[in-house]
Amino acid sequence: MALITRRRIAGAAILALVAVFPYLYQLRPFDAVLDPFRTFQVTRLAIWLVVLMGLNLLTGYSGQISLGHGALVAIGAYTAAVLMHEFGVPVVLAILAAGLFTGAIGFLIGYPALRLTGPYLAIATLAMMLALPQMLKLNGIREWTGGVSGILLTTPRAPAPVDAFLTDRQWLYYSCMVPALIMTLLAWNITRSYVGRAFIALRDTEIGAQQMGINVPLYKMIAFALSAFYAGIGGGLFVFTEAFMSPDTFDVNLSITMLVVIVLGGLTSIGGTIFAAFVMTFRNDFVDQLASIGILKLPGAVLPGQEQSPDTLRGALYGLLLILTVIFLPRGLAGFGRDVSEKRPWERLWRGRRGPPRPLPVAGVNINGPDTPAEPLE
Amino acid sequence: MGEFIQQVATGLSTGSVYAVLALAIVLIYRSTTVVNFAQGEMATFSTFISWAWLSRMDFWPAFALTLLVSAALGAALERVVLRRVEDAPVLNSVIVTLGLFTMFNSLALWRWGGVPKPFPSPAIFSGSPFSMGTITISRLNIGIFCMSLVIMAILFVFLNYTKLGLAMRATAENPAAARMVGIQVGQMLSVGWALSAAVGAVAGMLLAPILSLQPSMMFGIIIFAFAAAVLGGLNSLPGAILGGLTLGVVQNMAGTYVSPHTGSIDVTMAFVVIVLVLIVRPTGLLGSQQRRRV
Amino acid sequence: MRRTWIRSRNDARAARSAGGGPPWRALALASMLSAVLVAGGCAKEADKASANRTGVSDTEIVLGTHFPLSQHLAAAYAPIATAGMKGYFDYVNDQGGINGRKIRFVIADDHYNPPDTAEVVRRLVEQDQVFAVVGGLGTATHSTAAAFLEERGVPDMFILSGASKFTDPVVKTRFGGNPDYITEAKILGGYIAKEHPDAKVALILQNDDFGADGEKGLKQGFEGSSVRVVSREPYESLENDLTSQVQRAKNSGADVLVAYTLPPQGANVVKVARQVLNWDVPIVVTGVDATGSFIDLAGAESAEGVVSVLFGKQAYLTSDPDVAAHIEIMKKYGGGAPPSNLTVVGQAMAEFTVEALKRAGSDLTRERFVEAAESLRGFRCSVCLVPISMSPSDHRPFEIEVFVKVQDGKWVAFGEPVGFESTK
C-alpha cells in the first residue's frame, strides 16, 4: 500500500481540523459562523460520540436491543462524580474508574440478558431505565448520590500550566476530544477484529454462531461490558464538563433519542455513529431551522386557545424520522452514503436496470441472506 | 387484620388499573408477536379523542365511537407502518413502536396541550364507594376490574371459539403455514392491532378519571402494565389480569412494610419483578412456551 | 450454512484495502452537513456590545428564558412563559416599551432536561446575546444554568423554582421568583400548628427537591407545638395514582393530611381521600396546587375546605379590574391561551422585570438593572395579592402569602396574610 494516499490526506486534514477547531472562530472567514458556543457544542459531540459508539457496539453490531443505555451513562456519571466529589480523585482516574466500574456492571447485566431475547430484553432494559431515578434515591444509596438534589461539582477549569494559552472551554474541548478519538479508534479496531466479527455473527444468527464455535454467552457479556465501558467513560466525561448530575438527567426520552440517531446515522457503522453524534449534538439547531421555515406550523390544527409551538411537535418529528428511517433507509444515512458512492446509481441509470429486484432491507442487517458477505467494510 | 385486608383491597384496586392496560399489551403480542411500546400513548391519544366528543354527547355513545375510531386507527397503523417491519428482525419493530410512542405523545401535547383536564367517569361507576365493614373500594375501581374481566371473557371466546379468532391464533403461531392454508395474514394482523387499540382506548377512558387526562397520563403506569403482562405471561390474557392484580397487591404491601425503611421503591420493584420473571420463568405465571423455529 | 462471515486473514486484508480505512467519507459528509446547519443557524445576527451592555441597543432589550415546551410532562407549564411573560412583554412594547426600548423575548425549549438547559442557556448568552435571563423554570434544570450565568455576570432574574439554594447564599445577579418552598411550607406548618394544635399529620410528598423542601419547611413550622408527623408517603413525579399512599396515610391514624404535590397528583389525593376512602380530615396543600385546574380535577365537592396559600390573583375573579385587564392582555397578546394561574404567574414575573428595567433608567446596564431589582420594596404588581420586597440581602420577592380555602368551587381568601423573611 502506498504511504500517501488520497484517503490518508483526507484523514490528516480532518484530524488537523479537529485539532485546531477551538481556535478557528478567531480567524477571519470563520468568525461569521463559529463562536465559543460552537466549541461547547463540539465538546458535547465528542462525549456523544463515545456514548453512541457504545450503544452501536451493543445494538448495531451485536444486535442486542438495549433501551437502558442511558442508565449506564448515568451510572458512569455518578461514579465519576462521587469519586471526584467525595474522595477527591483526580479527573482522569475518576473517569477511567467510572468506565471500568460501569463496564463491570454491564458484564453483570449481560448475564441475565443471556436468557432474554428480542422484545424481552427491550422490556427489561426499558424497565431499568425507568427505575433508575428511583433507585438512585433509595435510602442506602442516597448518601452517595445526593438523592434528589444530585451532586454539584466545582466548575472545571484549565489547570495551571495550560491556562496561559487555553481558555476553560478549549481545555474542555481537548479533554473530551482526545479520549473520543482514542475510543473511536479502539472501536474501529474491535469491529474489524475477531471480536467484532463474533458480534456480527451473534446478531445475524445466534444458533448459527454457536454452531461455529463462538462462545455465545461469553461474547454477549463482552458486548454488554464493552458498551457499558463506553457508556461509563462517556458519563464520566459528561459529569466532568457539566459539573452537575441529578437522577433525572438521563431519562427515557434520551434513550429513545439515542436510538433514533444511531438508526438514522447507521447501525453497524463507525461512520454512522459519527454521523449520529452530529445529529445528536445539533438536533436543536435542526428543529429550530425547520421551525423558522414554517414546516412545523400547521394552521388551524390546534385546539383554540392552545399555544401553537413548533417545539411540541419535536417528538413527533423524531418518531416520524425513526419510523421512516427504519422502513426506507434501514442502514441509515451512512449506509445510504455508502450505497450511493459504491453502487453508482448514475451508471446504472445510464446503462439501464440490471439484476433482480432487491429484497426488503432490514435495519443494519445483511440483506442479501446468509450466503453473501456481511456488508462491505468501510 | 382489617387493615391488612384493606391493604389487599387497595392493592387489588391499583392492580386492576395495571391489568386493563396489560390486556392490550398481551393481546397485541399474542396476535402479532410484536411488543407495542406505544400502547400507553395510543390509549392516551384515544382518550383525548373521546374527550373531544364528551362535550357533545353522553359517556357511553362517546365511548363506543372512540372504540370504533381507535380500532380503525390501529388497523391503519398496522397496514401502513407495521406491515413493513413484520418480516424483519425484532429490532426493527421495537424501534418502530418506540417511534410511535414519541409521535403519539407529541401529537397529543400539540393538539390538546399539557394542562391536565378532568375526565368524567360513567354514571354507573361514580358515587359513594362500596364498603363492607371497614373496607372500602371505589366504584370506579370495581368497574375497572369488572370491565377487565368482561374484556378478557369476550376476547377469550372470540379467540378460541370463532373462526376469525382461530385464524388469528394460527397467524400468530406460524404465519407461513397460515398463509398456505389460505388465511389472509395481513388482515389478521390488522384485526389484532385494531382490537388491541380498542382495548387500549377502553383502558384509557376508564383510567383517565383517576389519572387526569394529560399527554403524560400513562407514563407512570406503563412500566407497571408491562411488569404485569410479563408476570402473567406475555401471551396469556388471564395472565395479564392475574399479573396486574398480583403486582398491585405486592406493590401495596411493599409500600407499607418495606418503603418506610428504604424510601419509595415501587418502580424499582416493577423492574425487579420483570427481571426475576424473565430469568426464572420467562413464560410468566400463566403463559405457555413458545417454540422458536430456527 | 456457509461460513462466509468468518473470513480468512487474506480476505480481511483485501477487504480492508478495498473499502477499508477509517470512515473519512462519513466524516466528510457529516462535517459538510453540520456546517450547513450551523451556518444556517447563525443566520440570526446579534448586536455586538460590551459585556455590561450586552443585549441592549437603542431600540431593543433582549431577554431570554429556558422552559419546558415539549417532550416532558412539565410542558404543562409552558403557558407561563409563552403566554404570561411573552404576552405582557408584547403588551408593554405596544405601549411604547421601556424608555424607548422594546423587549425581544427569546424562549428556549429545554424539555426539562438539565443537559439541554445547559446548552440552551449558553446559546442564549453567547449567540442570542441576551441582556438577562428571566424566569428560568425548574430546580434541577436551573442548577446547571445558575453557575454559568453567575460566572458570566448575566442577571438571572426571578427564577421559577422555590429551591432555597438559589437565594441562600445571596448572589448579586441572581433573584428568585417563586416563594421559597421552605418558607411557604413553614407558613403552612405554622397554620396547622395554630389551628390544630395536637394534630397527627400525614405527609404525601413528591420524591424530589420540591417534596424534600416542603417537608423541611413544614417541620420548621411545627416547631414548638405538639404537632407530630405520623406518616410520610413519597411518590415519584410520574405517578398519577396515589391511592396506596393515601390509604397508608389514613391507616396511620392521622387527623390532618398535607400534600406536597403537583396539581394532578394533589387532585388525585383529594379525590381518593374524599370519594374513595371517605376520609374527612382537613387537607392542606402546597401553593403550587392552589389553581383552578386543581379544583376542576378533584371535583368542587371533594375539594371543599382544602387550604393553601397564594400570592397571585385567581384568573376567574373577573370582577377585579386588574384580573379583567390581565384577561384582556392574554386575549390580545397571549396567543389565545386561557387565563389561569399559569398566565398570572408569568405576568407577575414580567411585571417585576419591567418595573426593574424602568427603574434602571435610560442608561441601562446589567449593574443598574440588578440594583433596581433590589430596590423593589413594597411594590405590588397588578396581579399579585401581596406586595413584594427585595433588598441587597434578600433576593426573594414574596415573603408574604395569603391563606385561601376552597369554597363553592373557588379559592377564597381568609384570615390574615402571614409572612416570614426568607433570608436575613
A vs C, Cβ pairs < 8 A, gives: 204
C-alpha cell at C367: 449593574
The number of distinct structural domains making up chain A is 1
For residue range B191-238, list pLDDT tens digits in order. Answer: 999 999 999 999 999 888 888 888 888 888 888 999 999 999 888 888
Would A218 be classed as within a structural domain?
A: yes
Residue in chain A lying closest to C238 (CA): A130
Q: Which domain holds residue A76?
A: 35-159+166-293+312-351
**CB distance C264–B255 less than 8 Å?**
no
Residue contact A112–B109, C-beta within 8 A? no
Minimum distance, in Å, between the CA of residue B158 and any CA atom of chain A: 26
Contacts of the segment C335-339: beta carbons below 8 A, 24+ positions apart = C335/A307, C335/A308, C335/C82, C335/C83, C335/C86, C335/C87, C336/A304, C336/A305, C336/A306, C336/A307, C337/A305, C337/A306, C337/A307, C337/C79, C337/C82, C337/C83, C337/C87, C338/A305, C339/C315
CB-CB neighbors (< 8 A) of A123 in chain B = 35, 226, 230, 274, 278
Q: What angle do CA C411, C415, C419 make, to 5 degrees?
A: 100
Question: What confidence score (pLDDT) does residue C61 get?
Answer: 92
CB contact under 8 A, B10 and C243: yes
Residue C1: the pLDDT is 36
Residue A301 has pLDDT above 60, yes or no: no
Does the predicted interface ipTM exceed a cut of 0.90?
Answer: no
pLDDT of C41 = 46
Contacting residues of A for B105, CB less than 8 Å apart: 315
For Cα atoms C303, C309, C315, give the angle at the middle one, nearest 5 degrees. 75
The β-bridge relationship of strands C307-310 and C418-419 is unpaired
Closest CA to C198 of C251, C246, C247, C256: C256
What pLDDT, in 10s, does the model give residues A339-357? 766 665 555 555 555 544 4
Interface test with A, best of B80, B91, B266 (most A CBs within 10 A): B91
Q: Is it the case that residue C398 has pLDDT exceeding 80? A: yes
User: With a threshold of 0.90, does the pTM exceed it?
Assistant: no
Q: With respect to CATH, is domain C51-178+317-392 assigned 3.40.50.12780?
A: no
Q: Which residue is closest to B103 within chain A, CA to CA?
A: A316
Taking alpha carbons only, the member of C61, C82, C211 closest to residue C137 is C82
- Domain residue extents for chain C: 51-178+317-392, 182-310+405-419
Which residue in C100, C87, C107 sits closest to C325, CA to CA? Answer: C87
pLDDT confidence band for A291 (50 / 70 / 90): low
Q: Quick: pLDDT tens for A209-220.
A: 778 787 888 888
Which chains have 3+ CB pairs within 8 A of A? B, C
* Bridge-based pairing state of the strands C60-67 and C102-109: parallel
According to the model, what pLDDT value does residue A377 have?
Answer: 40
**Adjacent-strand bridge partners of C413:** C404
Secondary structure of residue C309 in the 3-state scheme: strand
In the predicted structure, residue A38 carries a pLDDT above the cut 50: yes
Q: Are strands B130-132 and B135-137 parallel, antiparallel or unpaired?
A: antiparallel
Domain C51-178+317-392 and domain C182-310+405-419, same fold? Reply is yes
Residue reference for cell 445510464: A350
Given a cut of 50, is residue C277 above it in pLDDT?
yes
Q: Where do the structural domains in chain B lie, given as residue ranges? A: 2-218
Considering only alpha carbons, which residue of chain A is nearest residue B226? Answer: A123
Q: What is the pLDDT of residues B89-110, one digit of tens each?
A: 777 888 899 999 989 998 888 8
**In the predicted model, is pLDDT for residue A114 greater than 60?**
yes
Q: What would the pLDDT profile of B15-26 be if each residue is shown by its tens digit?
A: 888 998 999 999
Contacts of residue A306 in chain C, CB cutoff 8 Å?
336-337
A306 to chain C: nearest residue by CA? C337
Residues 136-195 of A with CB under 8 A from B: 137-140, 142
User: What's the gap in Å between the CA of A353 and the closest CA on chain C?
Assistant: 24
List subunits contacting chain B, requiring 3 or more Cβ pairs under 8 Å. A, C
pLDDT (average), residues C4-13: 42
The predicted pLDDT at position B257 comes to 82
Positive or negative torsion for Cα C167, C169, C170, C172: negative
Q: According to the model, what pLDDT value does residue C29 have?
A: 58
With beta carbons less than 8 A apart as the criterion, state whether A62 and A220 touch.
yes
User: Does residue B129 have a cis peptide bond before it, meaning omega lies within 30 degrees of 0?
Assistant: no
A244 in a structural domain: yes
Mean pLDDT of B252-260: 82
Q: How far apart are the first and last CA of chain C?
A: 79
User: Minimum mean pLDDT among A130-134, A153-157, B276-280, C355-359: which range?
Assistant: A153-157
Q: What is the CA radius of gyration of chain B?
A: 19
User: Is A188 contained in some domain?
Assistant: yes
pLDDT reading at C185 higher than 50: yes
Q: What is the pLDDT of residue A356?
A: 46
Torsion of CA C53, C59, C61, C67, to 10 degrees: -150
User: Distance of CA C297 to CAs B206, B229, C42, C243, Å?
Assistant: 15, 30, 45, 15
Determine the pLDDT at residue C86. Answer: 92
Helix (H, G, I), strand (E, B) or coil at C110: coil
Class of the CATH-defined domain C182-310+405-419:
alpha beta
Q: Do residue B262 and residue A128 have CB atoms under 8 angstroms apart?
A: no
Q: Is A371 contained in some domain?
A: no
CA angle B270, B275, B279 (to 5 degrees): 150
Question: Per the CB < 8 Å rule, is B112 touching A128?
Answer: no
Tell which of C243, C270, C272 to mutate to test the B interface (max B CBs under 10 Å).
C243
Which of A87-101, C23-37, C99-113 is least confident?
C23-37
B208: contact with C, CB 8 A cutoff? no
Per-residue model confidence as pLDDT tens digits over A152-200: 777 777 777 777 777 888 888 888 999 999 999 999 899 888 888 888 8
Greater model confidence, A116 or B289: A116
Contacts of C296 in chain B (CB under 8 A): 117-118
Using a CB-CB distance cutoff of 8 angstroms, which residues of chain B are in contact with residue A308? Answer: 110
Yes or no, beta carbons of A313 and B102 under 8 Å apart = no
Q: How does pLDDT run across C230-269, given as a tens digit for each residue?
A: 988 888 877 888 888 898 888 888 999 999 998 888 998 9
Core vs surface per residue A332-348: b (16+ CB within 10 A) or e: bbbbbbbbeeeeeeeee
Q: Is residue A363 part of a domain?
A: no
C-alpha cell at C311: 400570592
